[in-house]
Amino acid sequence: MRDLLNDLQFKRGLSPVASGADNTPLVSQIIDRLGYDSAGFVIATGALPDVDATFTVLVEHGDAANLSDAAAVADEELIGQDPASASTPEVQAGFTFAADDNVRKIGYRGTKRYLRLTITPAANASASLLCVIAVMGNAEQKPVIQAAA
């Protein structure tokens, strides 16, 4: 049977938001992977009006529910890197002002329970529209019932 939705769980990482007209990082909610062996993030962009802005993506992980033990995820535990280090452009998570109305993804193959994604703009002088969805797969129990929150 061709059924993808009963195998995945989606969680809000960052509600659709306009970044400030500055370089303030946008930090997702802490994502709990309990019950799922795989996880990743989808980043959707809207209008990115600044003509020289760049956006780097950082994934952190840890075992404390509040991520007080947060550490940057090592490159070998990520699938899809920032443009500076990625060898496969189709899965790069970082982006520039030229990525209006675009979708990026980054996967996690580590073993920590909690994740968080941060998007940090540079040279950003305009409000940029972004949102982040966490995607979990390889559920311990199927079918996956979509959580309300």
Domain locations in the chain? 5-139
pLDDT tens, position by position, 17-68: 888 888 999 999 999 999 999 999 999 999 888 788 889 999 999 999 999 9
- The fold adopted by the segment(s) 5-139 is Jelly Rolls (2.60.120)
Check residue 149 and give its pLDDT.
Answer: 64
pTM for this one? 0.88
pLDDT tier for residue 92 given thresholds of 50, 70 and 90: low
The helix, strand and coil proportions of the chain, stated in percent and rounded to the nearest 5, come to 5, 45, 50
Check residue 2 and give its pLDDT.
Answer: 76
Segment holding 56, helix H or strand E: strand 54-62
More confident: 4 or 91: 4
Beta-carbon contacts of 15 under 8 Å, excluding residues fewer than 6 positions away, are 131
Q: Is the pLDDT of residue 1 over 80?
A: no
Asked whether the beta carbons of 104 and 43 are under 8 A apart, the reply is: yes
Compute the distance between CA of residue 73 and CA of residue 22 in angstroms, rounded to an integer: 26
